[in-house]
Amino acid sequence: MVIFNTQTCRYPNCFDENINSHAISRRFSLETIAEDYHLFHFKPRQISRYEKKPYFKKIGTSKATAQGGFCETHDSFFKRLDTDEIHTTREILLQAYRSLCIINNEEKKAAISIYGLNSPDAYDKIRIEEVVAFLDKSGHSNLIEKLYDDRIVTIVKKKIQFLRSESVDRDLREIEKLSDYLIRILDFIEMHDVPTCEFRTLTTKNMGYRIFYYKTNFKIPVSINAMTRGCFFGEKIKTFSIVVPYKESNVIIGIIPNKIGYAQFYEDKIEDYFSNRLNVITFVESLMSTCDGWFIKPSIIDNMSDEKKEFFMQDCMFYNERKLYAEYDFSIFDDLKEKICTEDGIDLPTAKLANIPLREDYELRYAAMLKSILASDPLGEVKSAEPGSKSAKF
């Protein structure tokens, strides 16, 4: 049985107990977009064991992006990020490392909650339907007729639970491998200044990922720290998105596998998003449409019409419907877009801001979401409706 530890510091070779660490600086970043020290984020409400309803919830800056990550000593390792803006590529890597470690612990806690991975008796909660599906899929359908025997049922359930633990462990180790690599190269990679309004990338021969970054000269009032899962030509992959807000700017960081980063379509698409300031806002909206790891200035939501707010809230439930880096067909930052377009002389049709796209019925979308969750389960059997388990498309 694999035991998943969420209590220990993520810094290499440290075994002290972790504290509530922020992925994005609370005082230097989150509080620049907060109102009364609060932000909005998407947090569905559980209304039954297998059903949730979409909901925007206010959260204090003390909790936003916070997760057990580092001990008190090593949390201070990020003091530079908590007292000043990102200015160098070393700080880009430092922020990426911090974010990955927090995401890793979030994913670990979610897996423990969904599958009961640290409980020796969790296998007993596996439903008989899952047992049947597992036997059928694994080529042991001949055992289905013998499931009247409780001993066989128990053996199969324990096997399912073991394989789930192994699969989740491999999945988490991929994130740990990347974060450990970033901390190792931190003091050896060539350091450069991070310019304003210039799209840049960095990587190494052995990283396996490309990191792109961009610093704005205006502020988008949102913070993002998220991982998005998907498939690229049949292969499961992960991408990571980070948006750090400051008083008058943002730093945007993307971490993408080489197979996407060097694919011409995505390379051109991502670079085009940073060709002007309006496109940068559109890019951030695109990120928000494919994840739930964002925290936004409350008045952005409050100032939406009731119709827009209801649409956006429901749409957040179904980010499995959208493709990573595809332009979101709904406008979130209306006022900011109008301001930037006025300053930059860009024509922005007001109809585009007011547009509320047509969607399928809620019940059909919910069924499709459950199917997406099923696909993201380590063994392909859905256990519960957990929106955090959804995958975006590629």
The H or E element containing residue 52 is strand 51-53
- Domain residue spans of the chain: 20-117+172-389
Could you give the CA distance from residue 112 to residue 101 in angstroms, rounded to a whole number?
17
Q: DSSP letter string over 99-142? A: HHHHHHHHHHHHHHHHH-TT-TTGGGGS-HHHHHHHHHHTT-GG
pLDDT at 385: 34
Residue type, 20: N
pLDDT at 58: 97
Question: Which residues in the chain come in under a pLDDT of 50?
Answer: 381-389
Could you give the CA distance from residue 150 to residue 170 in angstroms, rounded to a whole number?
30
For residue 259, list its beta bridge partners.
none
For tokens 């749409």, the residue is 315
pLDDT at 168: 92
Could you give the CA distance from residue 293 to residue 313 in angstroms, rounded to a whole number?
14
* Contact assessment for residue 353 and residue 331, using Cβ atoms and an 8 Å cutoff: yes
pLDDT digits (tens, 9 = 90+) for 372-386: 777 666 665 434 334
* Contact assessment for residue 381 and residue 138, using Cβ atoms and an 8 Å cutoff: no
Q: How far is CA 227 from CA 62, 183, 237, 344, 389, in A?
A: 21, 19, 10, 32, 11
pLDDT digits (tens, 9 = 90+) for 42-67: 998 877 666 788 999 999 999 999 99
